[in-house]
């Protein structure tokens, strides 16, 4: 008997309607832990090289972790979606918390592999051992939240958990996300569109089985200890102002991309600060299943044109819909966020793409007519809200923008690619990479495209542990170590907001793994697992055709020095600096100059089964 793990994987072929269950590969479980690690490894087994992201042959995998379903604080509740991304054509992965992953574990599954394409709109109903593909025609056009309510109503159980796509996913918008528990999104890399391409509107789960751990008494003691840690300074930021605290911090360091990277600081920052948000709009801070922290800042707009808007806010989405579009009205930003959830789009990608469109408009690349009559000047909050709506519905100019900045630039031409702040086709996040050079490396090599959550390397820059304006040797190792840890966080799955409570990091995580699963795990083995997951992701990308050339940065980051007076003035990342950083990073990883893991490396990590991907490439 397994502990922590359910020990089973569900396979669903949406084309034929056939479903079957296989035992979890225990070797994979130990080597790749769960979550994104397990998902990435299983994706490689279940797909053919070069598969189109929207092909029925592209599997969409849901994976929870060994901790899911327990009351481990922040860890009981996570799940990951993994597939080939329609934005990057490489690794697509995104996690969400809430209550979906925990329910899936109790239904008895560590992972679900969804293949094929349903003939008609369908949703999957996993009721413990009973798995059915049900008609979803009546759910089409509904928001994820409405879909959740409708499914609960028709299946007659108000505790059923649902992950669903909105209209954007149905219409294959490459920035579409998958939302569970109404406001929790697997937001990045466009997996909502992959789900949509399978004609799959939602996955509904009810799990009634026990989840047990190997060493219950010690586990409960450990939980008690972490409950105490979570009341301490390591999580204070998330429990009080929340991530929106970053607005003023980043602005003071002049590292907050503003108006599509035309500036690095925002004169309206005070108006959209975390302080202002909490003062005027945060109605309650709620928590996920099993969490002892609580971070979810629920905002309500009480008056004005956006009265009665209610949604969760975080820094990245606030930044994207706010400063990045030059918008200084919090009520409009909150509305933009609510609409993003309503239509099921990643609000980061939406904001960055709208910033891109506004830049095109101000430079005369897009006309007001092409923008459906919208006066898309930077700072026009109404225009921002209208464009979110258009993208969400994929209407008018929204059709052009719904695939994100890169794909819009491809269609627009006229050198507009220079204005698209994307890496590997994925929109960047709220860190001005021109003056955060450790972060710049992390973003460039991130296997899921532009992202802060694959490495957290910005911390070295923002906290002043390194000279953030300088690219130098040694940053590669810093990024590598952070990546390995982040891979573990996303594979266990625990919440990144809780990372500070693992005072000893690897030893603490190894102890957790052992108490839950009963498999002895040393910190060294765990470290290696983190490295292994990174290599598996790299192999995924190599197999799908990505190379060193894709480990790059947005055009503006490399050509447009920061104009603003202040500590970051004049900063940008040159090709020479990027090359130096990449060389240093590949070396730290033990990869070739082209960024390919050599056979020896794969052997060292026990990945002999994947050697064929790099053969003839070294």
Residues forming the site for another protein (CB under 8 A): 69-71, 73, 76, 99, 106, 159, 182-183, 208-213, 216, 220, 224, 227, 230-231, 283-294, 296, 298, 300, 310, 312
Q: How far is the CB of 224 from another protein (least distance, A)?
A: 8
Q: How far is the CB of 511 from another protein (least distance, A)?
A: 19
Which residue, 291 or 439, has its beta carbon nearer to another protein? 291
Which residue, 4 or 351, has its beta carbon nearer to another protein? 4
Which residue, 338 or 584, has its beta carbon nearer to another protein? 338
Q: How far is the CB of 491 from another protein (least distance, A)?
A: 20
Q: How far is the CB of 278 from another protein (least distance, A)?
A: 15
Main-chain phi, psi angles of 563, to 5 degrees = -85, -20
Residue 124: in which H helix or E strand, if any? strand 122-127
Which residue, 219 or 266, has its beta carbon nearer to another protein? 219
Q: Contact, 579 vs 467, CB < 8 A?
A: no
Rounded-to-integer distance, Cα 474 and Cα 415, Å? 35
Q: How far is the CB of 68 from another protein (least distance, A)?
A: 10
Count CA atoms closer than 13 A to 50's CA, side-chain side: 0
Q: How far is the CB of 117 from another protein (least distance, A)?
A: 33
Q: Contact, 241 vs 248, CB < 8 A?
A: no
Rounded-to-integer distance, Cα 314 and Cα 375, Å? 27
Which residue, 287 or 379, has its beta carbon nearer to another protein? 287
Look-up of token digits 């996040």: 429
Q: Contact, 564 vs 265, CB < 8 A?
A: yes
Residue in 502, 501, 506 with CA at minimum distance from that of residue 484: 506
Q: How far is the CB of 36 from another protein (least distance, A)?
A: 23
Q: Is the dihedral of CA 461, 466, 470, 473 positive or negative?
A: negative
Q: How far is the CB of 423 from another protein (least distance, A)?
A: 32
Which residue, 337 or 445, has its beta carbon nearer to another protein? 337
Q: How far is the CB of 71 from another protein (least distance, A)?
A: 4
Q: Contact, 431 vs 458, CB < 8 A?
A: yes
Q: Is 84 helix (H, G, I), strand (E, B) or coil?
A: strand
Neighbours of 439 (CB within 10 A): 26
Which residue, 152 or 363, has its beta carbon nearer to another protein? 152
Neighbours of 608 (CB within 10 A): 10
Which residue, 288 or 325, has its beta carbon nearer to another protein? 288
Rounded-to-integer distance, Cα 187 and Cα 263, Å? 26
The whole-angstrom distance between residue 573's C-alpha and the CA centroid of its chain comes to 25
Which residue, 209 or 612, has its beta carbon nearer to another protein? 209
Which residue, 134 or 298, has its beta carbon nearer to another protein? 298
Q: What is the full DSSP assignment across 459-504?
A: HHHHTTSS-TT---TTHHHHHHHHHHHHHHHHHHT--GGGGGG-TT
Rounded-to-integer distance, Cα 481 and Cα 474, Å? 11
> What DSSP state is assigned to residue 207?
-
Rounded-to-integer distance, Cα 279 and Cα 248, Å? 15
Main-chain phi, psi angles of 210, to 5 degrees = -70, 150
Which residue, 44 or 300, has its beta carbon nearer to another protein? 300
Q: How far is the CB of 155 from another protein (least distance, A)?
A: 16
Q: How far is the CB of 187 from another protein (least distance, A)?
A: 17
> What DSSP state is assigned to residue 430?
S
Neighbours of 566 (CB within 10 A): 14
């Amino acid at each position: 008997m397994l502990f922590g793990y359910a020990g089973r994987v569900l396979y669903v072929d949406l084309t034929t309607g056939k479903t079957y269950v296989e035992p979890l590969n225990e070797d994979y479980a130990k080597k790749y832990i769960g979550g994104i690690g397990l998902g990435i490894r299983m994706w490689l087994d279940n797909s053919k090289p070069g598969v189109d992201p929207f092909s029925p042959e592209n599997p969409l995998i849901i994976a929870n972790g060994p901790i899911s379903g327990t009351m481990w604080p922040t860890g009981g509740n996570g799940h990951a979606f993994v597939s080939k991304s329609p934005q990057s054509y490489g690794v697509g992965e995104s996690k969400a918390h809430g209550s979906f992953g925990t329910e899936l574990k109790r239904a008895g599954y560590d992972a679900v592999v969804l293949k094929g394409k349903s003939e008609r709109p369908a949703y999957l109903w996993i009721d413990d051992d009973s798995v059915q593909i049900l008609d979803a025609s009546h759910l089409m056009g509904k928001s994820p939240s409405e879909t959740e309510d409708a499914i609960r109503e028709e299946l007659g159980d108000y505790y059923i958990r649902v992950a669903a796509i909105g209209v954007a996913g149905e219409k294959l918008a490459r920035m579409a996300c998958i939302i569970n528990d109404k406001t929790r999104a697997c937001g990045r890399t466009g997996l909502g569109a992959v789900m949509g391409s399978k004609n799959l509107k939602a996955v509904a789960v009810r799990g009634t089985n026990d989840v047990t751990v190997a060493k219950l008494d010690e586990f409960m003691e450990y939980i008690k200890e972490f409950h105490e840690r979570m009341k301490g300074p390591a999580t204070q930021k998330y429990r009080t102002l929340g991530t929106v605290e970053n607005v003023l911090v980043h602005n003071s360091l002049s590292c907050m991309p503003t108006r599509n990277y035309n500036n690095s600081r925002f004169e309206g920052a005070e108006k959209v600060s975390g302080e202002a948000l909490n003062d005027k709009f945060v109605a309650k801070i709620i928590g996920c299943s099993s969490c002892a922290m609580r971070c979810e800042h629920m905002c309500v707009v009480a008056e004005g044109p956006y009265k009665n808007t209610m949604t969760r806010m975080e820094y990245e989405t606030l930044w994207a819909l706010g400063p990045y579009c030059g918008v200084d009205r919090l009520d409009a930003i909150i509305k933009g966020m609510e609409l993003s959830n309503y239509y099921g789009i990643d609000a980061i990608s939406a904001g960055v793409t709208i910033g891109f469109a506004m830049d095109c408009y101000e430079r005369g690349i897009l006309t007001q007519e092409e923008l459906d009559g919208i006066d898309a000047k930077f700072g026009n909050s109404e225009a921002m809200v209208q464009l979110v709506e258009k993208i969400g519905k994929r209407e008018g100019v929204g059709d052009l923008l719904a695939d994100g900045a890169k794909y819009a630039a491809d269609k627009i031409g006229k050198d507009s690619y220079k204005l698209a702040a994307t890496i590997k086709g994925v929109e960047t996040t709220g860190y001005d990479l021109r003056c955060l050079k450790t972060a710049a490396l992390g973003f460039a090599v991130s296997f899921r495209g532009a992202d802060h959550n694959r490495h957290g390397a910005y911390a070295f820059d923002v906290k002043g542990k390194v000279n953030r304006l300088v690219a130098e040797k040694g940053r590669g190792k810093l990024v590598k170590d952070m990546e390995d840890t982040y891979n573990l966080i996303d594979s266990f799955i625990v919440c990144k907001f809780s990372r500070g409570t693992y005072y000893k990091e690897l030893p603490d995580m190894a102890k957790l793994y052992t108490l839950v699963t009963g498999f002895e795990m040393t910190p060294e083995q765990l470290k290696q697992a983190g490295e292994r997951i990174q290599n598996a992701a790299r192999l995924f990308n190599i197999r799908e055709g990505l190379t060193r050339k894709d480990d790059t940065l947005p055009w503006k980051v490399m050509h447009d020095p920061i104009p603003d007076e202040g500590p970051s003035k004049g900063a940008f990342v040159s090709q020479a600096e990027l090359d130096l950083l990449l060389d240093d990073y590949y070396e730290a990883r033990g990869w070739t100059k082209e960024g390919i893991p050599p056979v020896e490396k794969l052997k060292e990590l026990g990945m002999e089964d994947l050697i064929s991907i790099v053969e003839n490439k070294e």
